[in-house]
Structure 1
Amino acid sequence: MQQDGFTPLHFTSDDGLALYGRDYGSGNSGRRPIVCLAGLSRNSRDFHQLATWLADQGRRVITLDYRGRGLSARDPNPANYNIGREAQDVVAALRTLGISRAIFIGTSRGGLILHILPAFVPDMIAACILNDVGPVIEVAGLRVIREYLSARLEPKDFTEAARALKATHGVDSPALGDNDWNDMADAIFRETGGRIVSDYDPALVEPLKTMDMDQHLPDLWPQYEALASIPVMIVRGENSKLFSADVAGEMVARHGPQIELIMARGQGHAPILHIPDVLGPVSNFIASH
C-alpha cells in the first residue's frame, strides 16, 4: 500500500534480520532506478524530498534504513554495524526488488558503502554520487559527529528538535532555512512512548566513543579505484569538516574524465541534495546516465 508517495519495502537480510526501505515512483519508465544510501545514524526519510522530486520526473527511487536505523530491526550483535555488513544488506534489498544495476547516491557512510559495494557485486553500480565523502575521512569531522551523536538529545517536540539541530549545525550550513531544519528533525527523530528520540540504535555510537582519533585512520583509496570505470559525481559541502577539498581534488585527479565535482555552497556535512543549487547538477548527472 502506497504511503505519502512511496511503497513500504520489507525484506530480510541473509542473516535473518527484518529490514525496511521505501520504493518511490514507477519501475516502468525504462530508466535506471536510483538507490539512496544515508549517513551513519540516518535513515530512508533523509531522502524523502529528493526521492519525491525524482519520482515526479519518472524515476524509480529506493531509499533504505540500514539495520539498527529507522524501521529496520536492531542487531543483537552490534559488531554487525559495519559497512561490509550493510553493503550486503543493500544487495539483499535490490535482489528482493529484482534490481541488478542502478544509479547510487551515497551520503557520508552511504558513500563508504559504495566504495566497497563492487567487491560484492561488481556490476551493480551504473553511476554514483558521493555526497561529502571520499576515501579519506578527516578526524576533525569525526570528532564533531562523535560529540553530537553521543549527546542523544531528547527534545520535548519536533519544533524544539529543529531548533536544536539548527543550533548545532547552523553555523556550517547557513544556506538552510527553517523548512530544511524541520524536515531534518522529522528525518532524524521519532516519537515513541510519548518521547521524541533519535531514530537509531545507541550501540552505533560505541565504536566512535572508543576510537583513538590521535592515530592515523585507514583510507579506502584501493576501494575507490574500483569505481574508476563508472561515472562519478562528487558533492562537497563548502564548510565540511569531514571531507576535505584536498581529498576531493585527489579523487578527481585519480578518476579521469568520467567525474564531476560540485560545491554545495553554504552547507557543511552533509549537504542536502534537494536544495536548488545542488539539485540542478545532481538531476542533470542522473539524467545523463
Structure 2
Amino acid sequence: MSSTEGFSDFFYSASDGLRLHARVYGEANSGRWPVVCLPGLTRNARDFHELALYLSMHAANPRKVVAFDYRGRGQSAYDPDVKNYNVGVEAGDILAGLMALGIEAAAFIGTSRGGLIIHVLGALQPAILKAIVFNDIGPVIEAVGLAHIQSYLERAPKPKTFTEAVDAQRSAHGQDFSALTDADWTRMAWALNRETDQGLLPDFDPKLIDTVAGLDLMQPLPDLWPQFDALGGIPLLTIRGANSRLLSTDTLQQMREHHSMMETMTVEGQGHAPFLETGDLPEAIATFLDGAEQRGTTTD
C-alpha cells in the first residue's frame, strides 16, 4: 500500500487478472465492523472520501473503511471486454478485494449500482453482510430515472477546465439538488473527473456508456425482490433523495413492508443520489452502524 492523506491505496488482482484498486481508511482500526463503500455506475472511491474520513476518525467508534473502484473506474484498470462491466462480475471483484484484505464480514454502503451489487453479494455470500446502507437504491429501478441517466451520459458535456466541469454538473443536476452548496458541487466535479495530458476527462472507461445506451427502456425492467427479501435478517438503512427519479416512494414503502428491520431517511433538496457527506448524514450513518453492531453483538 502507498499512503496519502487519510487513506492508503490498495491494489489487487481480480479472478481474471485485471488490476483493481481500493482506498483503505483507518487501516489500524480494529474491534468494530469494517465498512465497505460501493459507488454508482460511473463513479469511484473518491465519492466516499469525506464520509470515509468521518467514519474512520470518529471520536467514539472509529472504523476501518474500504472504498472500491470497480473495473474501468478510478485507478482500476479498464477491461478490454465491455461485457464484463456488469454487477455480477463487479460483485466477484469486491469479494476478491475483501479476501485480499482479509475482511470476512463488514457493513456495506452502496450508492445506486453499489446497492445492486449488495443485492448480488447477498445471494453469493450472505454471511459477509453485517449491516447495509442503501443510498437511493432498492429492488426496483424506475425507468424514468434510468432514462435520465442514459440521456445525461449520452449527451454529457466535455468541459476543458475544472471550473467548466463544476458549471456543467450544476447545469445538469441543479434542479434535483437545490440543497447543495458551491463546495458540494466542487467536490462532485473533483470526484468525477481526472486531469490528463489530453485535458480534463471523466474518470471512467467511455465504454461504460455503451452498457447503458443499449438498454431498451420500453421493456419492463427486472426487479430484485427475491434478492432483497434474502436480506431480511440484516439491519438496513435506506436513504432516499426527496427528488429521486430512480427510487420511488412506492418502492420505499414496499421495502418497509418486506423488511421489518429497515430504517429510512429522506434527504430534502437532493435527488439521485444524495451526497452522504452532507448535513447530518455522516452522523446518522455512524449511529445506525453502531446500533446495528450493538444489537448484533448482544444476540450473538
Q: TM-score, normalised by structure 2?
A: 0.94
Q: Aligned match of 1:245 in 242, 249, 252?
A: 249
Of the three residues 148, 152, 174, the one matched with 2:152 is 148
Choose the corresponding residue for 2:127, options 101, 113, 123: 123
CA distance in 1 between counterparts of 2:16 and 2:123 reads: 19
Unaligned stretches of 5+ residues in structure 2:
294-300
- Selected match of 2:68 from 52, 55, 64: 64
Classify the secondary structure of the residue corresponding to 1:155.
coil
1:163 aligns with 2:167: yes
1: CA distance between counterparts of 2:109 and 2:29?
21
Match of 1:212 among 216, 234, 238: 216
Deviation at 1:205, TM superposition (A): 1.3
1:202 offset after TM fit, Å? 1.2
Could you list the per-position Cα deviations for residues 188-225 of structure 1 after superposition, in whole angstroms to 9, with x for gaps in the alignment? 00111141111111111113212211111100001101
Q: Which amino acid aligns with 2:244?
A: S
- Give unmatched runs, 5+ long, in structure 1: none
Greater shift in the superposed pair: 273-282 or 176-185:
273-282
- For residues 144-203 of structure 1, what are the alpha-carbon distances to aligned partners after superposition, in whole Å with 9 as ceiling and x for unaligned? 101111124321211211111011111111111000000010100011114111111111
- Deviation of 1:228 after TM superposition, in Å, equals 0.6
Given the alignment of the two structures, is residue 259 of structure 1 paired with residue 266 of structure 2, yes or no? no
Equivalent residues of 1:27, 1:33 under 8 A apart:
no
Deviation of 1:19 (Å): 0.3
Structure 1 residue 224 corresponds to structure 2 residue 240: no
> CA offset at residue 119 of structure 1?
2.1
Question: How many equivalent pairs are there?
Answer: 288
Name the aligned partner's letter for residue 4 of structure 1: E
Give 1:37-52 correspondences, 5 Å limit: 37-52=38-53
- Taking the aligned partners of 2:136 and 2:28, their CA distance within structure 1 comes to 28
User: In 2, Cα distance between the equivalents of 1:169 and 1:279?
Assistant: 22
Does the 8 Å contact 2:138/2:251 carry over to 1?
A: yes
1:237-265 Cα shifts (integer Å, max 9, x gaps)? 00000110110110011111x21011011
The one-letter code of the counterpart of 2:149 is: I
Asked if structure 2 preserves the Cα contact closer than 8 Å seen for 1:153 and 1:198, the reply is no
Cα deviation for residue 53 of structure 1 reads: 1.0
Alignment-mate amino acid for residue 172 of structure 2: T
Q: TM-score, normalised by structure 1?
A: 0.97
Query: Which one of the candidate residues 97, 102, 105 is aligned to 1:98?
Result: 102
Percentage of identical aligned residues: 48
3-state secondary structure, aligned to 1:103 = strand
Structure 2 Cα separation of the partners of residues 235 and 151 of structure 1: 28
